[in-house]
């Protein structure tokens, strides 16, 4: 497993105190009827409507999470306190730890009976996909109907937590978790450097390519990339694919579903463009020898006109660059619609052997409600729902929130390519490094992608 899930956890943090009492008197995202008989807790059971948590008796709800960073922790603390105030019969016993520690503990715990009621599970094939295959997670589809989650969440967001019941298909089928936060990969840029070039924001990929050429001719480094870890190049190549490959095909490849090919003409064109950027110095003289964090720090200090990267970089870079920093979603895809790499924070799931499923479902509904999204934004997080309405009044976070909202509602959030197979993180990381450095041809790199993908899908 690459470090990508951990580094994709949002780093967004706005100034301001945590509004811990904001939700104390707020109802969850759904109105509950009178207390009902306890629902069948099997994953296939569907009650007539949501169960009122107040009628479940005294419960200790065990929650495992990795929301350990400032704004993430603040928001969840506030939500937990508000939930317990609303339902004093439920006590939340929270165990919070780093992503890596939680990942290891979950893999062990889910195979037994001593499991938490709610747990964050990385939604990639190597984690959630394997747990679904083993029958270790609860199918939340019946609850989605009860609570109206499919109306609340865009389909492109829910696709990131859907698997067929045998774990074979990713992006379609049953629902195995709900996320609180969002993320998007786009293009950061220096406004002053664009102005010095006499260029305006590109509205097409061809315009973007032209500005890169113009910057290079002017002696500026067109883009910056720190790719010593291997995975950062995925954030450049993934969005670039959309200029050449239909989003539907990119989704199949990125989710490791059968029916596509890395050897298509579109993928060849995308890899040739990416390799050209690497071998001709568009990323600077040594992108594979530059650390990820060092690269974005160099950008804030004046190196590069553009930085293709994730929304989690926004706050830290804005702290240095101020109003000079801008963010845009990549230009429209080959089908004319917006499409870029993006997704969600680590979703909240319910183990198949959880003791208190009704309370667990109500809790997940609560922490993903409209009120919860407001609290997440107030605490400096990036809410997965209503981002445009909850955006700051100005600055780069406003542009990030609005870009995510537009892509998730109107376009396609393409999966991170390392979701594709349990080994694709290493395959893609190494292949893109070699394309950037010119050690292998675009055709050879794509063949390695194809071998991994076809080997996994069994085609």
| pTM of structure | 0.81
Phi, psi of 108 (to 5 degrees): -80, -45
Residues 80 and 106 grouped into a single domain:
yes
Answer for the pair 318, 188: CB distance below 8 angstroms, yes or no: no
Residues 81 and 156 grouped into a single domain:
yes
CA distance 365 to 372: 9
> Could you give the number of structural domains in the chain?
2
Of 31-35, 268-272, 301-305, the poorest mean pLDDT is in 31-35
Indicate whether 283 belongs to any domain: yes
Residues 325 and 438 grouped into a single domain:
yes
Report how far Cα 295 is from the mean position of its chain's Cα atoms: 21
CATH number for the domain spanning 87: value is 3.40.190.10
DSSP state of 66: -
Q: What is the pLDDT of residues 406-449, one digit of tens each?
A: 999 999 999 999 889 989 999 999 999 999 999 999 999 999 99
pLDDT band, very low/low/confident/very high, at 17 (cuts 50, 70, 90): very low
**Predicted local distance difference test score (pLDDT) of residue 455:** 96
Q: What is the pLDDT of residues 153-181, one digit of tens each?
A: 999 899 999 999 999 999 999 999 999 99
The answer to whether residue 123 scores a pLDDT higher than 70 is: yes
Indicate whether 275 belongs to any domain: yes
**Predicted local distance difference test score (pLDDT) of residue 220:** 97
**Predicted local distance difference test score (pLDDT) of residue 5:** 37
Among 385, 414, 444, the domain boundary falls at 385
Among 357, 385, 413, the domain boundary falls at 385
Domain with 325, as residue range(s), is: 183-343+401-457
Residues 194 and 245 grouped into a single domain:
yes
The answer to whether residue 38 scores a pLDDT higher than 70 is: no
**Predicted local distance difference test score (pLDDT) of residue 362:** 97
Indicate whether 89 belongs to any domain: yes
Answer for the pair 397, 314: CB distance below 8 angstroms, yes or no: yes
Indicate whether 43 belongs to any domain: yes
Indicate whether 394 belongs to any domain: no
Indicate whether 144 belongs to any domain: yes
Partners of 340 in the β-ladder: 413
**Predicted local distance difference test score (pLDDT) of residue 86:** 96
Indicate whether 363 belongs to any domain: yes
Residues 18 and 93 grouped into a single domain:
yes
* CA terminus-to-terminus distance, the chain: 23
Residues 330 and 353 grouped into a single domain:
no
Residues 363 and 406 grouped into a single domain:
no
CA distance 132 to 414: 22
Residues 287 and 212 grouped into a single domain:
yes
pLDDT band, very low/low/confident/very high, at 9 (cuts 50, 70, 90): very low
**Predicted local distance difference test score (pLDDT) of residue 48:** 67
The token pair at 164 is 């067929």
Residues 447 and 360 grouped into a single domain:
no
Residues 145 and 48 grouped into a single domain:
yes
Indicate whether 396 belongs to any domain: no
Residues 328 and 407 grouped into a single domain:
yes
The answer to whether residue 229 scores a pLDDT higher than 50 is: yes
Tell me what the mean pLDDT of segment 354-359 comes to: 96
Residues 356 and 436 grouped into a single domain:
no
Buried-exposed string 435-445: b where 16+ CB fall within 10 A, e elsewhere: bbbeebebeeb
Q: Nearest to residue 329, comparing CAs of 321, 341, 319? A: 341
């Amino acid at each position: 497993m690459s470090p990508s899930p951990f580094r994709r956890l949002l780093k967004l943090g706005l100034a301001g105190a945590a509004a811990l009492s904001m939700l104390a008197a707020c109802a969850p995202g759904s109105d509950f009827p009178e207390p009902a008989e306890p629902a069948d807790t099997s994953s296939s059971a569907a009650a007539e409507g949501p169960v009122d948590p107040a009628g479940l008796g005294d419960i200790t709800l065990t929650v495992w999470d990795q929301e350990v960073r400032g704004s993430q922790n603040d928001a969840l603390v506030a939500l937990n306190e508000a939930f317990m105030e609303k339902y004093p019969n439920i006590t939340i016993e929270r165990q919070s730890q780093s992503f890596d520690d939680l990942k290891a503990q979950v893999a062990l715990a889910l195979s037994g009976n001593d499991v938490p009621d709610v747990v964050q599970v990385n939604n990639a094939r190597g984690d959630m996909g394997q747990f679904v295959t083993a029958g270790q997670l609860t199918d939340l589809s019946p609850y989605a109907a009860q609570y109206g989650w499919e109306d609340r969440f865009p389909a492109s967001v829910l696709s990131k937590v859907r698997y067929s019941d045998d774990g074979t298909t990713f992006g379609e089928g049953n629902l195995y978790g709900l996320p609180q936060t969002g993320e998007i990969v786009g293009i950061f840029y220096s406004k002053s450097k664009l102005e010095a070039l006499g260029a305006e924001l590109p509205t097409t990929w061809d315009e973007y390519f032209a500005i890169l050429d113009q910057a290079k001719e002017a002696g500026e480094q067109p883009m910056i990339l720190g790719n010593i870890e291997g995975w950062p190049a995925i954030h450049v190549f993934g969005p670039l694919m959309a200029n050449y490959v239909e989003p539907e095909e990119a989704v199949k490849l990125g989710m490791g579903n059968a029916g596509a090919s890395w050897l298509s003409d579109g993928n060849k064109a995308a890899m040739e463009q990416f390799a050209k950027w690497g071998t001709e110095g568009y990323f600077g003289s040594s992108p594979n020898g530059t650390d990820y964090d060092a690269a974005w720090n160099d950008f804030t200090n004046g190196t590069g006109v553009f930085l293709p990267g994730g929304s989690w970089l926004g706050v830290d870079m804005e702290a240095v660059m101020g109003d000079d920093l801008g963010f845009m979603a990549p230009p429209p895809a080959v089908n004319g619609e917006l499409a870029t790499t993006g997704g969600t924070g680590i979703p909240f799931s319910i183990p198949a052997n959880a003791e208190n499923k009704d309370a667990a479902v109500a809790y997940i509904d609560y922490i993903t409600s409209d009120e919860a999204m407001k609290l997440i934004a107030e605490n400096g997080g990036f809410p997965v729902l209503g981002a445009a309405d909850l955006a700051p009044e100005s600055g780069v976070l406003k542009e990030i929130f609005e870009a995510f909202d537009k892509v998730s509602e109107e376009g396609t959030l393409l999966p991170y390519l390392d979701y594709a197979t349990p080994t694709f993180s290493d395959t893609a990381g190494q292949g893109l490094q070699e394309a950037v450095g010119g050690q292998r041809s675009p055709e050879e790199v794509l063949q390695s992608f194809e071998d991994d993908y076809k080997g996994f899908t069994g085609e």
